[in-house]
Amino acid sequence: ANPRFLYAGCYQGAITEFDRETKHERSVMEYPALGLSTSPELQKYRFNWSAPITTSPIDRDIIYHGGNHLFKSSDRGQTWAVISPDLTRNEIAHQGPGGAPITNEGAGGEVYNTIYYIAPSPRDTNTIWIGTDDGLVQVTRDGGRSWSNVTPKGLRPGFVNAIEISPFESGTAYVTYDGYKWSDWSPQIYKTTDFGRSWTKLVNGIREDDQVRVVRADPVRRDVLYAGTETGAYVSFSDGQHWESLQANLPVVPVTDLQIRDGDLVVSTEGRAFWIMDDITPLEQNAESVSASEAKLFNPRPAHLTTWGSTNARDAGENPPSGAIIYYHVATGTDSTKLKLEIVNVSGAVVRTYASKTKPGSPDHAIPGTAGMHRIVWDLRGAPLAAPKGLTFFGSTAGSIVGPGTYSVRLISSGRTLSAPLQVLEDPRSKLTATQVAEQVETMRTITDRASEIFRDATRLDDVRDQVKLIVAHAGDLPDSANVSSTGKRLEARLDSLSVELVQPMHTNGQDIIIFPNGVVDEWLYLARSVDGSFMPVTGGVKQRLADLQQQWQAMHSRMDDLLGAQISAFNSMLGGKAAVIVPKARGAD
């Protein structure tokens, strides 16, 4: 129940508790006898090299450890109770020295007739299933006071590799049986619905001689099962009546175990690697039944406001994408250039738009619009800022991170709109109050709105400057050409100077930032770095700097209004109607 303590096993029944805080390790063996070189038949308890250790899913303070008997502790291994008789076949003929006649080899890897798997019920602390390395399935329904041998009838020699208890029905369990140590490579999966009184074999669709290591039941969708075999992974949408490959990009490798955690399918392999299928919600939402002619938007699982991070270390694993994973299916015959996906907040405002065909210069990438199944990841941000291409900023031009709350995903395709709810949740490790979250979101909105405005205003200044420059170049064709030329050049210089103050065009790489003066927009983007994604209260320093930048912007905006207003009007009057500079409207202007 407390992740501070970890339990690890070794051969001969060694079991230790590790304290993550003190870094101390202590032995909590039930019966600390030195079994090395001792024949198993002479030992009080027999343990498999990989003797199972597990806790009750109902009462996590209960720890189970399997030898030839089942042991139980409720005090972190301080004391143990034997809650079963010998649950194995106890074949004395198979319990002698491991390596005779040349050498004993009595380290413990050859100990036989032991418990290999323990499966406590997730619904009843008194129900426990166990499987042995000599092929028995045993179950107790009264906490170990009595046990029943419920091994499927007629099995060839083998061992019970894993037991999965149904998350939906009492009495239903799935057993994977393995005979490879007896040169039997056949897949063997058995299901019971009556606590083992009867069994059904479920291997249709699994390749012959592809021995099965483990089966897991989906905890969300009834009848969906996942299997790990000697060569990879399978899925069944019919409670094991038929299996099909779930290999995708998983290498051909033995899958030794499977776990379903937080909507992910986690795979361990014989190569000591972990693979994760990020987000199996489409499988839990009948993805296999979607027809080619059907458009479908799957309900995304909740997304958390956190960044998983990445690493370039050669031996490091890959984290899942940060953000909301969204799956959609495009129907055949759809115009692949006209698909659109929108993220809408609770007020109905669109906070992000993706399209299968983007406009030239769009900061957003195009999403797939071809027929079939697709996945995109919304990074939980608003639209990227329309920053000039080719420039470098000491801050991000990505949109700001949204706040937690309820959103909708809209898929617009062939005149039809599909919608699905999406919950964006706060990082559970974050301790911000609702007021602090709102302040952070509002601060970021203020900063990104102002940065966007600065980029637009710089573009407007450059547009007007280019018009003035063109008029000056042809001033000889106009009345009072000398005055037009000199006035236009001064105006052109003022426009260019103010544009450079807003956005520094010489910042084309990381070194330019420390050589050429920052533009005003750099100051705003730098401030954003102190807020965006910090998941901490907005600091006093940020508030003070924001107030100063707002005041600075007002002064610069007055200069710009004068340039694009009174000074351009005066210049146009000088042209006497023979030419004119047209000032682009600011966004939202009448």
How much is the average pLDDT of 405-434?
94
Look over the chain and give the mean of its residue pLDDT values, rounded to a whole number: 93
Helices 520-529 and 434-473 pack at an angle, to 10 degrees, of 160
Q: Which amino acid is at 399?
A: G
C-beta of residue 175 within 8 angstroms of C-beta of residue 157? no
Query: Distance (Å, rounded) from C-alpha 256 to C-alpha 176?
Result: 11
Interior angle at CA 497, CA 491 and CA 500, nearest 5: 140
Tell me, what's the pLDDT at 348?
A: 95
Helices 481-502 and 520-529 pack at an angle, to 10 degrees, of 10
CB neighbours of 253 closer than 8 A, spacing ≥ 6?
Answer: 231, 232, 269, 270, 271, 273
How much is the average pLDDT of 361-381?
90
Q: Which amino acid is at 110?
A: E
Q: In what order do the strands lie in the sheet with 416-426?
A: 303-305, 416-426, 405-413, 340-344, 350-355
Using one digit for the tens of pLDDT, what is the confidence trace for 8-47?
999 999 999 999 999 999 999 999 999 999 999 999 999 9
Confidence (pTM): 0.87
DSSP assignment of 166-233, as one string?
A: -SS-TT-EEEEEEBGGGTB----EEEESSTTSS-EE--TTSPTT--EEEEEE-SSSTT-EEEEESS-E
Using one digit for the tens of pLDDT, what is the confidence trace for 233-260?
999 999 999 999 999 999 999 999 999 9
At 590, the pLDDT band (50, 70, 90 cuts) reads very low
Residue 589 has pLDDT above 60, yes or no: no
Query: Distance (Å, rounded) from C-alpha 410 to C-alpha 421?
Result: 9
Query: Distance (Å, rounded) from C-alpha 369 to C-alpha 328?
Result: 10
C-beta of residue 284 within 8 angstroms of C-beta of residue 221? yes
Query: Distance (Å, rounded) from C-alpha 388 to C-alpha 376?
Result: 25
Using one digit for the tens of pLDDT, what is the confidence trace for 537-560?
999 999 999 999 999 999 999 999
Using one digit for the tens of pLDDT, what is the confidence trace for 156-210?
999 999 999 999 999 999 999 999 999 999 999 999 999 999 999 999 999 999 9
C-beta of residue 12 within 8 angstroms of C-beta of residue 36? yes
Using one digit for the tens of pLDDT, what is the confidence trace for 285-342?
999 999 999 999 999 999 999 988 776 777 778 888 899 999 999 999 999 999 999 9
